[in-house]
């Protein structure tokens, strides 16, 4: 059975290199590009007077340099200020505001700050006794409550003052007025306004941001001279992710169809007024998509506004592909005969890029891993931009005096005047005050505009970017950092090292003990082609069913093979698992294709599942060698006591269809490596995947009689295996009713008491308080509730939102759910695939019919019996107790709560399930208190509730959600083992001779 893909849904392009190339090689290229390009002693000579002047006449306290010196983000005080700036202004209810303020100020000690700083921060907020701030869970009296309100009010004022320093205006007109005032002091100053806000989650969000951009352009145009070059007028910076809720590579066709016209409408107005319109840089995975959008716009500019030279793109120097990106932008300009603008920045998503590469198990990092390497890349990019000044107007955004001096030197060498410098509002003012005295060059201020409550994402990125100890901004105000260190040549520093990543590559995330499984990035064309090539060849073979008699015979063979396998050294059994893991890694694309074809997985879910199976094999191999090693126990002299673990016998492993490779492999690997033989009973819907896993394990060295696959209905094959007298244990993942049936069957058997490991479902909840950021909540909710079509044990079933923010959050969840694509899982654009079969579809349909009579439906119906698909569904309920049943599909129930969050957790506990719980709050002490109260195996704070990683988040529950121990954790393997203590009386052979040599 072949499954052809007509074409790659994302255009394949070779215009940019692999983003995960080895860092040393890329760095060598960047250094080579700068050979002979710079006279660094002259650079330093230019920059030193600027630094001296700034240190002698420092900027106001509120400038970033001073703020980071007083309160570095590595300190409790700096972190408290950042957290309060991020959250306090958006908290609508007093109780939560008090709790948040107490939580953050309770960790900080501002007593060492200077008097001037205290005055500016509002002494009332910091100096008031902390007795007015109740601890989490306390109920203060009236007097204390009034005191707490005063502290919160003062802190709010302090945070508003903080926000005002980094936001030019709360609306565009206010920003334009303040910009004009600044221009009176510096007539050549220009601005690029950035309308604050997170990316769009819904079409309504996108419409709101589009209108905001339109209004801003109209206002800027009224103050601009359409006869001047765009570089001489103010401009606007826009985020493409704000203009489309699905600005993702997998949605390429939709983005090009829907987003490009929206951006073009902005381009038209900017062209008419001769403004600079810059598309801001975003995450690495969106780079090719941004380029496609940018080229589509450039082509239309060439046709309709060929004289407009204001279309711009922001480029991030920390990307390993930055120079090649500049070459491609220049090529776009030349292909279409249009002049463009490019803003060169160092980059603001560094930590998230590192984390994504680690989580996906990618070959390397798409960004440089040390700050000075990014500085080298920036200079190489600057040279490339200046070399392309026939088609590109360069905009150099930096606060580093050495970088500024280097750029000016390279520009003078080329005689280039087609460039400008840029800085952020509220940052770099001191340096640019001095630079602009000496140099006749344009300077543009990147100026955020918006309400202070929208400051979050921007401010946190800026603080993280510039608050690091290695940052020039941080070091500038620290006079203990000498001039030589501050203005050190980044090229010389790179020359003194090998260029290797600053920390382990994703493959070595877990250290020397075990490799991390390697993944694929569907955003990269080469990776997609490996998947699609496998898809074109995939076939789902028919797996014959076993009879009850065959199950009985298999059990006898397993019992007979047990002794030989159990007595093989644990190191040999572990080596078998590692060979199987390596084989799975090599077969990742075909295994992914099989998961898509048989289990109806989407491609990202398929990749994650194969990686999880690999991780199980490697983790249990390592754990077995640790746990099964003999342990010498203390005792009296003349006696040696040794504790040893060994296998129990033949285990029945019954796995589910929702993770037919990962859970199947995890169960089997745990049993095998501890010395047991295995009778593997896969889910009826997914036997081909199980057969392929067994084939790989046999090829790795597991004898055929040690691991036997028995496919068939649970009522016959499964029941027969459980009832076999020779069975020494059962491990099961599936529904709670089936687990109870297995428990009863085992209890009814004569002979030994047989252990049962059961991981069952859950009514998994997420509690959201009013300090949480709604956009982050919605991302976590949509992923948790609707990914894998809700067919995960850990999927979110119940969302509990504080009443003060419930309307906005629920509306955003509705819009985000409606933006998801429901369809064929083989299509890369599909978010929600079908349910596994007609039985699963019918079960969910019955629940939906019930909910439509007992709860308020918030999304339109979307069931299709022919394809077994169910569009995401959302229902509002009134009480936690109404969500008493697990609904195994993309169905989310939501309720509003008020009062004490501990009461909500108590009601969730009362449901009896205990698998996963999500908490969304900025109040750290609250998160810890609620996690301690929860009866749940996995508690996730400020993230989604799915995707537990082997050895990182051991997975399993309690109560109706399972027996434990947690799979993928350090306590799992001992349940498969029997224990033996060996005591040898050494005195019987002459005593303990060690005593005589003591």
- Catalytic amino acids? 759, 793
Neighbours of 141 (CB within 10 A): 9
Output the six-digit token pair for 405. 């001096």
768: Cβ contacts below 8 Å, ≥ 6 apart: 777, 799, 800, 801, 802, 805, 809, 920, 921
Q: β-strands 707-709, 639-647: how paired?
A: unpaired
Backbone angles phi, psi at 806, to 5 degrees: -60, -45
Residue 654's SS3 state is strand
Residue with tokens 């509705």: 814
Residue 802's SS3 state is strand
Q: DSSP states of 109-147 as a string?
A: --TTS-HHHHHHH-HHHHHS-GGGSPPTT----HHHHHH
Buried b (16+ CB within 10 A) or exposed e, 279-316: bbbbbbbbbbbbbbbbbbbbebbbeebeebbbbbbbbb
539: Cβ contacts below 8 Å, ≥ 6 apart: 1, 2
* Plot region of 439 (φ>0 → left; ψ -120 to 50 → alpha; else → beta): beta
What sections of 708-837 are H helices per DSSP? 719-723, 736-748, 774-786, 803-818
Q: Residue 562 in contact with residue 647, Cβ under 8 Å? A: yes
Residue with tokens 């673990």: 645
Buried b (16+ CB within 10 A) or exposed e, 674-696: bbbbbbbbbbbbbbbbbbbbbeb
7: Cβ contacts below 8 Å, ≥ 6 apart: none
Peptide bond into 965 cis (omega under 30): yes
Distances in Å between the Cα of 794 and the Cα atoms of 451, 728, 916, 919 are 37, 29, 6, 14
Q: Nearest to residue 610, comparing CAs of 655, 654, 658, 665?
A: 665
CA distance 205 to 778: 13
Output the six-digit token pair for 645. 């673990």
DSSP conformational letter for 718: I
Q: β-strands 707-709, 869-870: how paired?
A: unpaired
959: Cβ contacts below 8 Å, ≥ 6 apart: 912, 913, 914, 935
CA distance 954 to 946: 12
989: Cβ contacts below 8 Å, ≥ 6 apart: none
Strand ranges of the sheet holding 727-733, from the earlier edge strand across to the other edge = 707-709, 677-681, 650-654, 727-733, 756-759
Q: Report the C-alpha dihedral over residues 231, 236, 239, 245, rounded to 10 degrees.
A: -140
Distances in Å between the Cα of 408 and the Cα atoms of 382, 419, 624 are 10, 10, 61
Q: β-strands 443-449, 276-279: how paired?
A: unpaired
Output the six-digit token pair for 650. 């033949």
451: Cβ contacts below 8 Å, ≥ 6 apart: 170, 196
Q: DSSP states of 565-626 as a string?
A: HHTS-HHHHHHHHHHHHHHHHHTHHHHHHHHHHHH---HHHHHHHHHHHHHHHHHHHHHHHH
């Amino acid at each position: 059975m072949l499954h052809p893909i007509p074409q790659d849904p994302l255009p394949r392009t070779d215009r940019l290199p692999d983003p995960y190339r080895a860092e040393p090689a890329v760095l060598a290229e960047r250094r080579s590009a700068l050979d002979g390009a710079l006279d660094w002693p002259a650079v330093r000579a230019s920059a030193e007077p600027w630094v001296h002047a700034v240190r002698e006449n420092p900027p106001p306290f509120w400038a970033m340099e001073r703020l980071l010196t007083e309160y570095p983000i590595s300190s409790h005080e700096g972190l408290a200020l950042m957290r309060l700036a991020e959250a306090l202004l958006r908290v609508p209810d007093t109780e939560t505001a008090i709790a948040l303020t107490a939580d953050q100020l309770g960790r900080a000690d501002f007593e060492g700050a200077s008097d001037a700083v205290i005055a500016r921060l509002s002494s009332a907020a910091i100096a008031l006794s902390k007795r007015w701030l109740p601890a989490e869970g306390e109920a203060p009296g009236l007097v204390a409550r009034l005191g707490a309100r005063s502290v919160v009010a003062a802190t709010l004022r302090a945070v508003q003052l903080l926000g005002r320093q980094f936001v030019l205006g709360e609306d565009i007109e206010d920003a334009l007025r303040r910009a004009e005032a600044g221009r009176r002091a510096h007539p050549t100053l220009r601005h690029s306004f950035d309308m604050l806000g997170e990316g769009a989650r819904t079409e309504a969000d996108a419409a709101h941001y589009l209108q905001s951009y339109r209004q801003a352009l109209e206002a800027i145009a009224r103050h601009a001279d359409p006869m001047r070059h765009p570089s001489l007028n103010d401009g606007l910076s826009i985020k493409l992710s704000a203009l489309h809720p699905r600005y993702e590579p997998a949605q390429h066709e939709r983005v090009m169809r829907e987003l490009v016209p929206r951006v073009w409408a902005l381009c038209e107005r900017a062209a008419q007024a001769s403004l600079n319109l810059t598309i801001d840089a975003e995450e690495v995975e969106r780079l090719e998509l941004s380029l496609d959008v940018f080229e589509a716009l450039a082509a239309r500019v060439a046709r309709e506004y060929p004289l407009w030279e204001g279309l711009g793109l922001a480029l991030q120097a920390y990307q390993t592909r930055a120079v090649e990106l500049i070459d491609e932008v220049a090529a776009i300009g030349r292909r279409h005969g249009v002049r463009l603008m490019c803003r060169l920045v160092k980059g603001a998503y560094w930590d998230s890029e590192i984390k994504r590469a680690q989580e996906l198990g990618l070959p390397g990092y798409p960004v440089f891993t040390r700050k000075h390497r990014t500085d080298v890349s920036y200079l190489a990019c600057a040279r490339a931009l200046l070399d392309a000044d026939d088609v590109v107007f360069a905009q150099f955004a930096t606060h580093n005096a050495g970088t500024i001096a280097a750029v000016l030197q390279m520009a003078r060498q080329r005689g280039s005047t087609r460039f400008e410098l840029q800085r952020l509002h509220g940052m770099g003012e001191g340096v640019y005050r001095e630079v602009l005295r000496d140099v006749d060059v344009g300077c543009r201020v990147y100026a955020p505009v918006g309400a202070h409550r929208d400051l979050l994402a921007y401010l946190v990125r800026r603080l993280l970017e510039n608050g690091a100890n290695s940052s020039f901004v941080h070091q500038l105000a620290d006079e203990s950092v000498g001039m030589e260190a501050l203005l050190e040549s980044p090229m010389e520093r790179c020359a003194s090292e090998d260029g290797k990543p600053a920390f382990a590559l994703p493959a070595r995330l877990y250290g020397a003990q075990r490799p991390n499984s390697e993944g694929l990035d569907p955003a990269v064309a080469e990776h997609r082609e490996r998947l699609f090539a496998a898809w074109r060849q995939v076939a789902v073979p028919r797996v014959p069913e076993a009879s009850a008699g065959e199950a009985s015979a298999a059990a006898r063979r397993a019992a007979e093979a047990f002794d030989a396998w159990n007595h093989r050294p644990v190191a040999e059994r572990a080596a078998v698992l590692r060979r199987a893991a390596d084989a799975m890694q090599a077969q990742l694309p075909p295994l992914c294709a099989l998961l898509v074809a048989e289990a109806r997985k989407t491609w990202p879910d398929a990749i994650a599942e194969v990686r999880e199976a690999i991780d199980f094999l490697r983790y249990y191999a390592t754990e077995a060698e640790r746990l099964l090693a003999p342990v010498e126990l203390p005792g009296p002299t003349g006696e040696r006591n040794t504790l040893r673990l060994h296998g129990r016998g033949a285990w029945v492993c019954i796995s589910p269809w929702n993770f037919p490779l990962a859970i199947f492999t995890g169960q089997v690997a745990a049993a095998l490596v501890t010395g047991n033989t295995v009778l593997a009973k896969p889910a009826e819907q997914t036997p081909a995947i199980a057969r392929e896993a067994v084939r790989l394990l046999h090829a790795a060295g597991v004898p055929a009689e040690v691991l036997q696959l028995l496919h068939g209905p649970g009522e016959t094959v499964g029941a027969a295996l459980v009832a076999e007298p020779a069975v020494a244990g059962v491990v099961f993942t599936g529904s709670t009713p089936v687990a109870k049936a297995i428990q009863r069957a085992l209890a009814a058997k004569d002979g030994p008491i047989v252990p049962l490991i059961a991981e069952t479902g859950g009514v998994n909840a997420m509690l959201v308080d009013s300090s949480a950021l709604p956009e982050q909540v919605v991302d976590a909710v949509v992923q948790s509730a609707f990914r894998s079509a809700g067919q995960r044990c850990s999927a979110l079933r119940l969302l509990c939102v504080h009443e003060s923010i419930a309307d906005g959050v629920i509306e955003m969840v509705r819009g985000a759910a409606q933006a998801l694509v429901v369809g064929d899982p083989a299509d890369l654009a599909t978010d929600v695939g079908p349910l596994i079969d007609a039985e699963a579809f019918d079960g969910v349909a019955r629940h939906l019919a019930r909910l439509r009579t007992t709860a308020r439906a918030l999304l339109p119906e979307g069931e299709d019996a022919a394809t077994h698909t169910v569009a995401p569904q959302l229902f509002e309920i009134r009480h936690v107790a109404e969500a008493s049943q697990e609904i195994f599909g993309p169905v989310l129930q939501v309720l509003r709560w008020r009062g004490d969050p501990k009461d909500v957790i108590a009601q969730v506990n009362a449901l009896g399930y205990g698998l996963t719980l999500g908490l969304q709050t900025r109040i750290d002490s609250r998160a810890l208190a609620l996690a301690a109260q929860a009866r749940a195996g996995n508690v996730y704070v400020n993230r989604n509730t799915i995707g537990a990683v082997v050895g990182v988040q051991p997975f399993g529950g309690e109560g109706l959600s399972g027996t434990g121990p947690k799979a993928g954790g350090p306590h799992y393997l001992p349940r498969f083992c029997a224990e033996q203590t060996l005591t040898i009386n050494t005195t019987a052979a002459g005593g303990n001779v060690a005593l005589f040599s003591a």
